[in-house]
Amino acid sequence: MTEGTRPARRPGRRAPEVRCRTAAPAAGSPAARAARVHAAGGALEVAITRVRGDTAVVAVTGEIDLRTSDVLRARLVELHAAGPRRLVADFAGVPFCDAAGLGALVAAHNQIAASGGEIVLVGVRPAQLRLLRITGLQRLFAVHADVDGALAALDSPTTSG
């Protein structure tokens, strides 16, 4: 067909819009900080924010994808090797985590569990929680709404250790 014989599009009909993100996160929120980190070069930050006994709270900030998943795995394993038996990974600053990120979490879990450690997830967004459920990984990781809830659960006498 040539341009002259191609049927015309129906007037008033538009192609569907594809939106990847919802409204912009509030300034100062963990999601806004994560967006700035990602925009600054796609870096992923994984840092200890609190230590209590043999448990370290680790803030994860930035998008976790194929480019950054190795950083997540290596950093979690490195932090565990430095001393804490349990890592409470706070995902409140993670706006996106794909299959590579899930794979990195599983790899870190396997290495850490082999030496008697544990990874607990907190602040996981609903879409990420859905992926954990779909893949069955919620059985591998304890998931809590917030850091205080995770620490309380870890301190309870019914927690196996």
Let me know if residue 130 belongs to a domain. yes
Provide the pLDDT for residue 155.
Answer: 85
Report the b/e string of 19-30 with b at 16+ CB within 10 A: eeeeeebeeeeb
Structural domain includes residue 116: yes
- Distance separating alpha carbons of residues 33 and 100, to the nearest angstrom: 22
Does residue 24 belong to any structural domain of this protein?
no
Question: What stretches of 82-125 show up as alpha helix (H) in DSSP?
Answer: 99-114
**Residue at 139 is within a domain:** yes
The amino acid present at 94, given as its one-letter code, is: V
Q: Residue 107 domain-assigned? A: yes
Residues paired with residue 46 on neighbouring β-strands, in sequence order:
60
Give average pLDDT by consecutive 10-residue segment, the chain, 161 residues: 55 47 44 41 87 96 96 97 96 95 97 96 95 93 95 75 45
* Residue 31, domain member (yes or no): no
Count Cβ atoms below 10 Å from residue 112 Cβ, excluding itself: 21
**Amino acid symbol at 3:** E
Residue 12 lies in a domain: no
The confidence score (pLDDT) of residue 156 equals 79
Residue 132, domain CATH? 3.30.750.24
Structural domains counted in the chain: 1
The Cα 86–Cα 120 span in angstroms is 8
At 37 the pLDDT is: 40
Report residue 29 CA to chain centroid gap.
16
Residue 4's Cβ-side half-sphere holds a number of Cα atoms within 13 Å equal to: 0
Say if 20 falls within a structural domain: no
Distance CA 156, CA 139 (A): 19
pLDDT of residue 21: 40
Q: Which domain holds residue 150?
A: 44-155
The pTM assigned to this predicted structure is 0.71
Question: Is the four-CA dihedral 141, 145, 151, 157 of positive or negative sign?
Answer: negative
